Structure 1
Amino acid sequence: MATIRDVAKLAGVSVATVSRVLNQNGYVNEETEKRVRQAIEQLNYKPNEVARTLFKKTSKTIGLIVPDISNPFFPELVRAVEDVTNIYDYTVILCNSDEKIEKEKEYIEVLKQKYVDGIILTTNQLELAEVSELDVPVVVLDRPLNHSFPSVIADNYGGARLATRHLYEIGCRRIAHIQGPLHVVNAVERFKGYRDEMQELGLWDEDLVILGNYQLNQTKEAVLQALKEHEIDGIFAGNDVMAVGALKAVQQLGLRVPEDVAIIGYDGIPLTEMTTPELSTISQPIYEMGAIAARLLVKKIEGQPLEQIHHVLPVKLVQRQSTSKGEKK
């Protein structure tokens, strides 16, 4: 395998000159650069990317930190980021933080040591000051920090109102909400949308708010308990995974969906089409969100202007069997 010294010898130049050509750093006259590039091609020389990374402190890689890769929402998001960044010859380093701030901080340090060119954050565990101290471009995806960083989110508040109103329109009056983690921005926005819609309808009852933490089994147990204590005829789950947990709880008690309890989730993941009955959901444009975030980050890395810094994408109601019209009493 050819080395940089072999290239320098064939081109009749110093190793430093070959390095300048490879890294586009410093002046090399046109004729000399031509000889170096011919030598590189003739020897089929492949630069040592590790060495180049250390020299240039850039790596053509980006870090992507997600809170829970086992949640089917995130793999589609990751796929979109990877598809777009690969077009621009960037590699994605995927980090799963498990919703733990200590793990997230550890990943940040690892990514800095690897000289990543930018980071996409889909968590909001870090303090604003900690993110501001990063020396690379940052784009926030799904869970915004504040307006200091480019962001891509869906209309969580509007989607929650849409889900709640849908349950009301099919005849539900005792509508429960399964809330995600209290520290997660999108979970809070979905709760606020539900609360405001229920207040406007004159149906607000704080006892009908159930904490599910975006977890299936925790939701199932919480819903089992709630159904024993309260009269509930509709459930709006803050994500689709929790909607599945709610469905399992309702069916375990021998209740029918949607005749006894109608259920709607949030996200629009394929899992909602695999249940019996199929689950209605508020569908986010998941792939589009990841793709936009990736393009924003690449532009930031390459110093290109951003036509729009903050993106709030619309959501849509996907009605399936779990909220079929005409089925509620």
Structure 2
Amino acid sequence: MATIRDVAKLAGVSVATVSRVLNQNGYVNEETEKRVRKAIEELNYKPNEVARTLFKKTSKTIGLIVPDISNPFFPELVRAIEDVMNIYDYTVILCNSDEKSEKEKQYMDVLKQKYVDGMILTTNQLAIEEVMELDIPIVVLDRPSDHSFPSVIADNYNGARLATRHLYDIGCRKIAHIQGPAHVVNAMQRFYGYRDEMKSLGLWEDAFVIQGNYQLKQAKEAVLQALQNDHVDGIFAGNDAMAVGALKAVQQLGLRVPEDVAIIGYDGIPLTEMTTPELSTISQPIYEMGAIAARLLVKKIEGQLIEQLHYVLPVKLIERESTRRRGKA
């Protein structure tokens, strides 16, 4: 295997000159650079990436921290980010924080030690001050807490209003909401959308909120318990995983979907098409969200002009069998 000294010898230059060509650091005249690059090609020389990282304090890698990789929403985000980063020759290091602030902090420390060029965060466990201390380019995806960093989200608030209104339009009057974690920004935005739409419909006094924590099993158990004591005819779940849990609970209680209880989720993941009946959902442009976040981060890393720092992408209603019921308004 060729070494940097072999390249220098073949090109007739010093090791330092070869290093300057490889790292694009310092002046090398055009003819000399051509000789060095020709020698690299002839010898099929592969630079020591670890050494280059230590020297340049850059690695052509980015960190991506997600809260729960078992949630089907996040793999599609990850795929989009990886696809875009590959175009720009960046490698993605994926970290799963399990919604734990200590784990998130630990990952951030490790990623910085590895000289990642930037990070995409889909979590918001840490204080803004802690994140700013990293002093590297950061883009926040799906769960922004404020406008301190470039961000990409979907229109959670209006999507929730759309879901609630859809249930009303098909005849539901006792509409429950399965809420995600209270510390997660998008979960609360969806709750606020549900609350405000229920108020505008004059149904807020009959509102019913169930805690599901964005988890399928937890949502199922919570709905099983709730429906034994309260009657509802519509359920808006804050994400699709909880909608699946609600569907299982309703069916386990011997109720029909959508005839007895209509159900709509939020996200638009493929899982909603695999249930019986298929689940209606508010669909987010998941892949587009990940792709935009990745491009924003590349621009931040490379010091390019960023025309738009914050994106709020539209969502759309996908009506399927779980809400195909009509009643009188």
TM (normalized to structure 1)? 0.98
Q: CA deviation at 1:328?
A: 8.8
Matched-pair identity in % = 84
Partner of 1:242: 242
Give secondary structure in 1 for the equivalent of 2:204.
coil
Q: CA deviation at 1:41?
A: 1.3
Structure 1 segments of 4+ aligned residues over 4 angstroms from their partners: none
Partner of 1:285: 285
Partner of 1:105: 105
The alignment status of 1:127 with 2:127, answered yes or no, reads yes
Structure 1 CA distance for aligned equivalents of residues 76 and 30 of structure 2:
46
Give secondary structure in 2 for the equivalent of 1:124.
coil
18 and 206 in structure 1: CA distance in 2 versus 1, 3 angstrom threshold: farther
85 and 310 in structure 1: CA distance in 2 versus 1, 3 angstrom threshold: same
The alignment status of 1:86 with 2:80, answered yes or no, reads no
Retained in 2: the 8 A contact 1:154–1:284?
A: yes
Partner of 1:200: 200
Retained in 1: the 8 A contact 2:167–2:262?
A: yes
Structure 1 range deviating more: 132-141 or 172-181? 132-141
One-letter identity of the residue aligned with 1:238: G
Tell me the alpha carbon deviations over residues 253-293 of structure 1, each in whole angstroms, 9 at most, x when there is no partner.
00000110000000000000000000000000000000000
Partner of 1:43: 43
Give secondary structure in 2 for the equivalent of 1:25.
coil
Structure 1 CA distance for aligned equivalents of residues 99 and 206 of structure 2:
26
Structure 1 CA distance for aligned equivalents of residues 145 and 187 of structure 2:
14
Q: CA deviation at 1:80?
A: 0.3
Structure 2 CA distance for aligned equivalents of residues 212 and 157 of structure 1:
18
One-letter identity of the residue aligned with 1:110: V
Tell me the alpha carbon deviations over residues 240-263 of structure 1, each in whole angstroms, 9 at most, x when there is no partner.
000000000000000000110000
Retained in 2: the 8 A contact 1:263–1:279?
A: yes
Structure 2 CA distance for aligned equivalents of residues 328 and 107 of structure 1:
53
Structure 1 CA distance for aligned equivalents of residues 103 and 208 of structure 2:
33
Q: CA deviation at 1:231?
A: 1.3
Partner of 1:169: 169
1:293-308 correspondence runs (5 A): 293-308=293-308
Partner of 1:4: 4
Tell me the alpha carbon deviations over residues 76-118 of structure 1, each in whole angstroms, 9 at most, x when there is no partner.
0000000011101111000000101111001001110110111
Q: CA deviation at 1:145?
A: 2.2
Q: CA deviation at 1:17?
A: 1.1
Q: CA deviation at 1:326?
A: 2.7
Structure 1 CA distance for aligned equivalents of residues 140 and 309 of structure 2:
11
Retained in 1: the 8 A contact 2:171–2:327?
A: no
Partner of 1:319: 319
Structure 1 CA distance for aligned equivalents of residues 252 and 129 of structure 2:
47
Structure 1 CA distance for aligned equivalents of residues 328 and 154 of structure 2:
30
Tell me the alpha carbon deviations over residues 216-255 of structure 1, each in whole angstroms, 9 at most, x when there is no partner.
1111111011101111110000000000000000000000
Retained in 2: the 8 A contact 1:236–1:265?
A: yes
One-letter identity of the residue aligned with 2:6: D
Tell me the alpha carbon deviations over residues 41-96 of structure 1, each in whole angstroms, 9 at most, x when there is no partner.
11111111111011000011111000000000000000000001110111100000
Tell me the alpha carbon deviations over residues 99-142 of structure 1, each in whole angstroms, 9 at most, x when there is no partner.
01111001001110110111000001110001111121100000
Retained in 1: the 8 A contact 2:174–2:206?
A: no
Across the aligned residues of Structure 1 and Structure 2, the Cα RMSD in angstroms comes to 1.3
Structure 2 CA distance for aligned equivalents of residues 136 and 3 of structure 1:
32
1:130-169 correspondence runs (5 A): 130-169=130-169
The alignment status of 1:221 with 2:221, answered yes or no, reads yes
Give the total of aligned pairs: 329
1:54-69 correspondence runs (5 A): 54-69=54-69
Retained in 1: the 8 A contact 2:142–2:186?
A: yes
One-letter identity of the residue aligned with 1:133: E
